[in-house]
Each structure stands twice: as C-alpha cells, then as structure tokens.
Structure 1
Amino acid sequence: MPLLVMKFGGTSVGSLDRIRRAAKRVGVEVAKGYDVIVIVSAMSGKTNELVGWVSETSAMFDAREYDAVVSSGENVTAGLMALTLQEMDVPARSWQGWQVPVKTTSAHSSARIEEIPTEHLMAKFDEGMRVAVVAGFQGVSPEGRITTLGRGGSDTTAVAFAAAFGAERCDIYTDVDGVYTTDPRISPKARKLEKIAYEEMLELASLGAKVLQTRSVELAMRFHVKLRVLSSFEEYDENAGTLVCAEEDIMESNVVAGVAYSRDEAKVTLISVADRPGIAAAIFGPLSDAGVNVDMIVQNIAEEGRTDMTFSCPTDQVKRAERAMEEAKTSGEINYHDIVADTDVAKISVVGIGMRSQSGIAARMFEVLSNEGINIKVITTSEIKISVLIDRKYMELAVQALHDAFELEKAV
C-alpha cells in the first residue's frame, strides 16, 4: 500500500480530545488506502515541564539522563494515540525511538539522525498493522542511550521517516493552516501560500518563521520529500495547507514569496581591530567555539591599518560573545579598542526564488524603508534573500510596508 507520514505537534495532541481529533485524521487516510507512520510530539507544555524538573534536580545535569527524562513526553503521546486508534478499530501500535531503531549520533540534546532501518516497521505492516505511531524527537546513540534531537526535532523525525520509507508525502499538522507571506498577526493582508519552494522555506525558517524547523526543511530538500503544512484544528480538506516542494513543481510565483522577521537580534561591533590577514578567523573562530550563532557580518574599510568588524547574533548569546572576545584579547589573538553591543535591533528579510532573475528588489526594499524613515544598520544578501538590521521599534512598520510594497497579498 502507499505510505504516508503524518506528524502532529504539541498543540495538536495537547489533550485527549485533540488526540482523538488527530486520530480521526489518521483514520481518514487509512480509509483511503494508505499505511501511515504517525510521528507525535509531547503534549503542549509537557517538554518544558520536564526540562524544568531536570534543572531543579541538578544544575550540572548529566546530558544522558536529561535526554531520558525529556524524551518521555513523546512516549506518553505515542501510547495514547495508538490506544485511540485501536478504539477506532484501526490496527496500530506505538514505537519508541530505540525500538525502530532511530540511530543517531551521541550528541545528547542535539543528536543528528544517521540511519532509520525500515525492516521492523515494514514487517509489521506486512502482518496487517496499518498505523505505526512513533515517538518523535528521540533516537538511540551507538552506546545504546536515548538521545534527543533538539527543539523542533519531531519535524526532523517526520521528514527522516518519509525519506527512509519513500513516503508519498509528509504532512505536518500544527496550529496554523499553512505558510503565509508574513506573520498574519503583524499584517492582516498576509496570504496563505498554496506552494513554496524548499529554498524559500529554508530561508524563511532560518530567518524567524516558526512554521517548520530548519533541519527538517534541509532534510526534505536533500531527499526530495514533499511536505505539506496544515492545521489539525480545521475541517479536513485534501487540498488544505501549503505544499513545500521543488522549484520546478511550481508553475509561477511572485518574485518575493514572503517577509520574515526576527526580533531577538543583537548587533555587536569590535571597534578598531587590526586589519591583517587572518583577523576574521581570529575573531569568528573563538565565537564558534563559544557556541555563538553569528549571522550577518560587515567589515568597514580600513584606515591606518585598523578597521571595525560588525556581526549579528541572538540577544541571548551576546554575553557569551563578549566573553569570547575578551578572552581572545587577553590571550593576544586579537586586539581591539572596544566592543559595543546593540540589543535593541530586529532583522527583516525578504525572500523569493524570483529574485534570481529579477533585478531591483534590493533598491525597492531600501526605498520603502527610507520612505518610512527607517534607518538600515546592516545589510546582507544571498541569491534569494535580502536581510537588514533596523531599530526594533520599527519592526512591525517595516514588515507591513514591505508586504504592501511587494503586493504579497496578491497571488500570481
């Protein structure tokens, strides 16, 4: 039988009533002739509760035991979903990560999937099982210990299963009904997209859109897994949601697909750094070692052998960045006059595969922001993206103005 992967997020399984509702969606697909692999998250709020318990128990906790605790939320949901499906006379059973097994690296709390053998589940499908309910977010290390994949890891689990089993499609059920041109809470004109290319979705996810986890989109693009994002709270419609697919599967699209934003950004500037070969490596090597996620980088024109180096990072990593730079200065790796952090900025980005073949998008974006009196602090571009840092107080104004200027409320 054809195979479908269906993933239900925490809000979609947040209570027994919601689990029953999700199970009915699974039942519809089974009735259409699919064998189904269901990937479930922990019930909403449960993972945070478990993380809190671990932190209260031990400030310097063992990461292996952390994973053993926080992965248990998905185990509960998987069992309840299987029981609910059985009550509906749908042959189903639950699987924990180690039972499949989902083989991962040993990096506890941030493991990466290395292999998903298919023989165990396929044997059960051959015996008459119609639904395998798999606990998302978790796997097993080469040492035989439970691992977790990091926040949003259930999305990655779902795509990995779809790739391993050659599924027809991977449906991601969440609390939104698809991917929008921007956040509808900021712009009432935001429009739900019928289709979006992997590259666009990957950029939007990495730039602040919370619909899909970045790693899951990377995996889908690499293995050509068709993703559909849809709501578990709306009435069933086989044409609902947004399909994330290859660029060639989209007949026509707007030049700009969407406007993304990230409010938790900071701009860090090293003032008067020696301008010499290797200075960038001397700065960003220690930042990488300290786990600082650097995004935008700008180096000023050098004067008298000195230059300023500016980069952006999440606001909660500023202290870590400052400490790494101070240690590098103390050790003599770099020499700078001062370090200045601006934690009151936001990143605004426009994304679209159509930007590859049409010029003038950057000029239009800068003109729109100028007309609104918004000063740009940092600019970075890629083939299908333009991002700017601006004062955070102008974030919503910028998103609305750019959405209007590129007429994203209109479909092609």
Structure 2
Amino acid sequence: MARLVMKFGGTSVGDLDRIRNVARHVKREVDAGHKVAVVVSAMAGETNKLVDYCRAISPLHDAREYDAVVATGEQVSTGLLALTLQSMGIDARSWQGWQIPIRTDGAHGAARITGIEGDRLIERIEGGQVAVVAGFQGIAPDGRISTLGRGGSDTSAVAIAAAIHADRCDIYTDVDGVYTTDPRIVSAARRLPRVSYEEMLEMASLGAKVLQVRSVELAMIHGVRTFVRSSFDDPEAIRAAGNQPVGTLICDEDEIVEQQIVTGIAYSKDEAQISIRRVADRPGVAASVFGPMAQANINVDMIVQNISPDGSTTDITFTVPQTEYDRAISVLEDNRDVIGYSSIEGAQDVVKVSVIGVGMRSHAGVAAAAFRALSDKGINIRAITTSEIKVSVLIDAAYAELAVRALHSVYELDKATSA
C-alpha cells in the first residue's frame, strides 16, 4: 500500500465522460489499497474563457479579482470528480486551495507556494477518504484566493505530495511518458523508463512540454518521485495487467542503474536573437546591457561576446523569449547613451536545440559530436551555451527538424534502453 497523489490536467477532465474515466483510474488505485489524493485542473478551455472574460471587462484588471474569477474552473472540476467518485461508492471530498490551506506569496496571478499544512489531508486519506484538490490555487497573505500561473496544477500536485509525504506523485497527461525527443519530429523517438530530476529540469526549461518547470524544481528539492503517464490508458486494462504503471519515472540519479550519456534532445521555438554592435569594451559594459533587462524582468539566455582585433570594441549577442523581443529592443534603445553601441541587429526566425544527459559529466566529445553532426547537414550555429549536462545551439528555424533528427541519430537515441 502506498500514499499517492494523482494529478489530472484539463484535457483529462475535458468533459463528463473523461471525468468518469479519471474516476475509474482513482478507483483502481483505491481498490489496490492505496491512500489517494487527487489534484485536478479546470476542464480544457475553461481557464482561457475565464481569462478572456476578465480582459474583456477590464484590460487593466485588479489581479486579486482576476484570481477570484479564474480559480473557479478548478472548483467545478473538483466538485464534479468528487460527485462521480461518490456515485461509484467511494468516500470522496473536494478541497479548494484555501481549505487545506495551500499558502502562497502575494503575487496574484503568478503566486509561489510558501507552505502547505498537510495534517488534515493526511488524516482524511489515512481514514480512507479520497481528497480531490483544486490545482493552480492557494491563499495569499491577504486572505484572498491566489493562482499560480500557467501550469500551476503540476506544481500544486508535487507540493501536496511533499506535504503529505506521498510515496509517488503520478502526473496523468495526454502522453504516456517522457520521450528522447518529440515523436512528431522523430518517429524513432523512444519513451524513457526513468529520467533524473536534473535532466527533466533541463528538458522542461528547454522546450519539452510534458512537465512544468516549477513542478520539477519542487520535486527535485523535496525528493518527490514523479511518474508521468497517460490518462487515456484503459483503467481496466491496467488493473488486469497487475496495476503496473506505464510511463516515465522522474527520480534521483541514484535510482537509474545504467545511465545513457545523452538522454534526450529538446528544442524551443520561443527564441529571438539580438546583437548590439561596436560597444566600447570597458569594465561594466555587460552590466549596462543586462542590468536594464533585469529591471524590465526580461529573461536573457544565451550570451556570446566577440571583442574586436584591437580590443577597443565588442559585439554582444544574446537571446530572449520571442514574446519579449520588441520590449527588449525598446529597453536597449532607451539605454543607448549609457551602453554606447553603434547598431542593433535582431532575428526572430531562430530555434534553440539542446542535447541533454547527466552522462555528459563523465564523457568527453559529446559537444564535438553535436557540432560535427550539424556541420554534416549544412546547419550553421549562431550561438552556443553549455552546462555540465547540456549543450544548446541556436540555429535558423528552417533547420529545426533536421537538426533534431540529426542529433537524435548521432547519439543513437532510438536504441536508448535506460534502466
């Protein structure tokens, strides 16, 4: 018997039939003797509709009232699922964020969880009651409802799993696990049985959409074993197969017996490149560029600096999210006198492709293999960044799929068999 948190996203609870399917998954775990808490998102499309209502009423809306409106989607989902479970003879109760409570900071619309009081949940689920918890929401210091921003239900689920000391947090989604790369691009992509927290964090931050970045951070900090699986698998078929889950376990590196050198290839289309030319090469020049960016809350990623042969000037190239491109250009233009550049160049038709794997720490030549594979395909690299377990390159968007296929092949990821 285990203490489990099961999380279902908007697609999984998209209509009444899918809510009934979710209830069958929950019943399967209850029948197996597990103690269960369920975290649900709003029904698919519901949050977008509520956000549109707020914007239509008041483009410059009060963030506290915005939270009061958009949090209602999850309230509907929890109530409907609790009713469905009750109709199946299962003792179930819905919980909103403020009832637990899930405490957050005061950043309405993008709040961060500061603490969860899990004693009441533990008491109820140990007594055999299924707790159906609203994801995405909590209570701010001012006593009002707060929401966690997009993807916040994943974060809610992992945080609740940590608070109730769950044995595992199962994230049910519309895919059956984490793959070596996007199967829509590479048909030979393979589902990974296990992925380390660090690798998943890199994948999530570099374009993989399976898990939200904050949820992976939280799982890594608290050691929450997280299992990604499909909500569309037949509950009865799983039961008949001995209730053995099919998917990908996100866990500590020590749990992975035989780690591949490279685990996966991720890509992100939400990239824009900016270059400022002929900046005087002097102490503090980087601060004069990136200080204003930080003040404007613009995230800067890849940075390349090239100094002129005589050492008098430098070119600085960096990337920002594509949605922040125009604002970043405006910030640079406003600070032109302080920075002292000659011109600005930019490109939005770029893609970041990344090679990820904890095995890179102890193996040489991984980056060289990537560069060679791209060169063989005639793909020019605009910028490069590296970490202990990642190599990222910025390339023209037209070559994105070709690059992903080439890198997936050169590391033989179609043959990956991580234990």
TM-score normalised over the length of structure 1? 0.97
The answer to whether structure 1 residue 402 and structure 2 residue 414 are counterparts is: no
Secondary structure at the residue paired with 2:142? coil
Q: Which residue of 2 aligns with 1:181?
A: 180
| CA displacement, residues 267-291 of structure 1 (integer Å, 9 cap, x when unaligned) | 1011111211122122111111212
Shift of 1:367: 0.4
Shift of 1:125: 3.4
Q: Which residue of 1 aligns with 2:290?
A: 284
Secondary structure at the residue paired with 1:256? coil
Candidates 352, 376, 379, aligned match of 1:374: 379
The answer to whether structure 1 residue 383 and structure 2 residue 392 are counterparts is: no
The CA distance in 2 between the partners of 1:393 and 1:123, in whole Å, is 55
The answer to whether structure 1 residue 315 and structure 2 residue 322 are counterparts is: yes
Candidates 327, 341, 344, aligned match of 2:349: 344
The CA distance in 2 between the partners of 1:264 and 1:123, in whole Å, is 44
Q: Which residue of 2 aligns with 1:5?
A: 5
The CA distance in 2 between the partners of 1:349 and 1:203, in whole Å, is 9
| CA displacement, residues 32-54 of structure 1 (integer Å, 9 cap, x when unaligned) | 11111100001111111111111
Shift of 1:243: 0.3
Kept in 2: contact 1:254–1:408 (CA 8 A): no
The CA distance in 2 between the partners of 1:29 and 1:124, in whole Å, is 16
Residue type at the aligned position of 2:328: A
Candidates 285, 302, 305, aligned match of 1:296: 302
Shift of 1:31: 1.1
Kept in 1: contact 2:14–2:43 (CA 8 A): yes
The CA distance in 2 between the partners of 1:272 and 1:61, in whole Å, is 42
The CA distance in 2 between the partners of 1:304 and 1:31, in whole Å, is 72
The answer to whether structure 1 residue 145 and structure 2 residue 150 are counterparts is: no
The answer to whether structure 1 residue 334 and structure 2 residue 339 are counterparts is: yes
The CA distance in 2 between the partners of 1:129 and 1:286, in whole Å, is 54
Candidates 235, 252, 256, aligned match of 1:250: 256
The answer to whether structure 1 residue 231 and structure 2 residue 230 are counterparts is: yes
More displaced 10-residue stretch of structure 1: 268-277 or 100-109? 268-277
Superposed counterparts of 1:34-73, under 5 Å? 34-73=34-73
Shift of 1:292: 1.2
Q: Which residue of 1 aligns with 2:201?
A: 202
Kept in 1: contact 2:181–2:408 (CA 8 A): yes
Kept in 2: contact 1:30–1:130 (CA 8 A): no
| CA displacement, residues 45-101 of structure 1 (integer Å, 9 cap, x when unaligned) | 111111111111111111111111111111110110100110111110000001111
The CA distance in 2 between the partners of 1:21 and 1:125, in whole Å, is 21
The CA distance in 2 between the partners of 1:238 and 1:16, in whole Å, is 26
The CA distance in 1 between the partners of 2:180 and 2:123, in whole Å, is 43
Moved over 4 A (4+): none
Kept in 2: contact 1:81–1:133 (CA 8 A): yes
Shift of 1:304: 4.2
Residue type at the aligned position of 2:144: R
Kept in 1: contact 2:121–2:164 (CA 8 A): no
| CA displacement, residues 14-47 of structure 1 (integer Å, 9 cap, x when unaligned) | 0111011011111111111111110000111111
The CA distance in 2 between the partners of 1:160 and 1:366, in whole Å, is 39
Secondary structure at the residue paired with 1:151? coil
The CA distance in 1 between the partners of 2:160 and 2:372, in whole Å, is 45
Residue type at the aligned position of 1:53: Y
The CA distance in 2 between the partners of 1:383 and 1:366, in whole Å, is 17
The answer to whether structure 1 residue 161 and structure 2 residue 160 are counterparts is: yes
Secondary structure at the residue paired with 2:81? helix
| CA displacement, residues 190-228 of structure 1 (integer Å, 9 cap, x when unaligned) | 000000111110000000000000010011011110000
Q: Which runs of 5+ in 1 are unaligned?
A: none
Secondary structure at the residue paired with 1:324? helix
Residue type at the aligned position of 1:227: T
Shift of 1:263: 1.3
Residue type at the aligned position of 1:284: F
The CA distance in 2 between the partners of 1:189 and 1:183, in whole Å, is 10
The answer to whether structure 1 residue 268 and structure 2 residue 274 are counterparts is: yes
The CA distance in 1 between the partners of 2:328 and 2:375, in whole Å, is 31
The CA distance in 2 between the partners of 1:253 and 1:52, in whole Å, is 45
Secondary structure at the residue paired with 2:339? coil
The CA distance in 2 between the partners of 1:289 and 1:397, in whole Å, is 37
TM-score normalised over the length of structure 2? 0.96
Residue type at the aligned position of 2:78: A
Residue type at the aligned position of 1:408: L
Shift of 1:129: 4.5
| CA displacement, residues 371-399 of structure 1 (integer Å, 9 cap, x when unaligned) | 00000000010000000000000000000
Residue type at the aligned position of 1:352: G
Secondary structure at the residue paired with 2:323? helix
Kept in 2: contact 1:253–1:411 (CA 8 A): no
Secondary structure at the residue paired with 1:269? strand
Residue type at the aligned position of 2:307: I
The answer to whether structure 1 residue 21 and structure 2 residue 21 are counterparts is: yes
Q: Which residue of 2 aligns with 1:118?
A: 118
Kept in 1: contact 2:229–2:245 (CA 8 A): no
Shift of 1:2: 3.5
The CA distance in 2 between the partners of 1:178 and 1:276, in whole Å, is 49
